[in-house]
Amino acid sequence: MNAQVNITHNLRRKVASQVVNIGPDGPESGVAGESRGECARSVAPPSYQNAARPALCAWCVRPATRKHGSAWFCARHYRFQQMRATAKRHGKSVPSYETLEMLAQCLECVGCGRAMHWLIADGPRARQVTLQHDRSGAIRFLCLGCNTSHSVHPGDEFYNIPPDHKRCPRCGDVKACASFFTDRTRGRRGQAPLRSLCKECGRVSNNEHRANNRARFNARQQEWRARRKAS
Ligand SMILES: [Zn+2]
Ligand SMILES: [Zn+2]
Ligand SMILES: [Zn+2]
């Protein structure tokens, strides 16, 4: 497998260097993406915007679908660059392309077990592949839904929660789904949509809200009584 990674790596370097030298608009397009860095977008010549899409990704033999800088890439390699850029921007560890290729061998989310896809255009946004930085320091791929869910759990507790359980953000307890009221406006791990708070916390929260807005509740109740009397 290492040999395979090396071949891919060398091929990528070779092809990437070709793209810099012979871009779609000649040598100039390569220079625009390489040396001007952040200013590339503002100073790029108009022809740069209309560059024809090549048939294949600059790094592999898959069809090119997205443009990054001056080159076109397949969905996978386009996302690799996005993931690395996002990790760098957020001050997190930036995985090598070899690491990403290894992670990409399995596109089944370890959080929810569902298939993930590379681009938002390929399916539901929540099932897009994202790069997950665990608090233990490990790196893996998770679907966007599970990535978001992981972020609201302390540590890496997210992975220990059984599929028919959920953590209440108010009391912090992990409870069975039966301890939560259903909420049709929500969805979670492809199961019955549940309210955020557990039944007990929901009750306390409702009572608090009512106590804090007593005047409004009383006014509404009086209005309702008057309407009922009139009819
Ligand atoms: Zn590719
Ligand atoms: Zn998932
Ligand atoms: Zn609770």
Per-residue pLDDT of the chain (231 residues), as tens digits, is 444 444 444 444 433 333 333 334 433 333 333 333 444 444 444 444 446 778 899 999 999 999 888 889 999 999 999 999 999 999 999 999 999 999 999 999 999 899 999 999 999 999 999 999 999 999 999 999 999 999 989 999 999 998 889 899 999 999 999 999 988 776 555 556 888 899 999 999 999 999 999 999 999 999 999 999 988
Handedness of CA 62, 64, 66, 70 (dihedral sign): positive
Which ligand is nearest to the Cα of residue 196, counting in written order? Answer: 3
Q: Which residues contact 132 (CB under 8 A, 6 or more apart)?
A: 139, 140, 141, 142, 146, 147, 150
The pair of structure tokens assigned to 190 is 């492809």
Q: How far is the CA of 1 from the centre of ligand 3 (A)?
A: 47
The pLDDT of residue 14 = 39
The pLDDT of residue 52 = 74
Q: Is the pTM of this model over 0.85?
A: no
Q: How far is the CA of 56 from the centre of ligand 1 (A)?
A: 8
The pLDDT of residue 184 = 77
Q: Hey, what domains does the chain have and what are their CATH numbers?
A: 161-205 (3.30.60.130)
Which ligand is nearest to the Cα of residue 97, counting in written order? Answer: 1
The pLDDT of residue 204 = 97
The pair of structure tokens assigned to 17 is 């260097």
Q: How far is the CA of 156 from the centre of ligand 2 (A)?
A: 14
Task: Using CB atoms within 10 Å of the CB of residue 106, give its burial: 0 to 12 exposed, 13 to 18 middle, 19+ buried.
Answer: exposed
The pair of structure tokens assigned to 141 is 């791929």
Q: How far is the CA of 94 from the centre of ligand 2 (A)?
A: 22
The pLDDT of residue 55 = 83
Q: How far is the CA of 130 from the centre of ligand 1 (A)?
A: 17
Tell me which residues have their CB within 5 A of the ion that is ligand 2: 109, 111-112, 143, 146
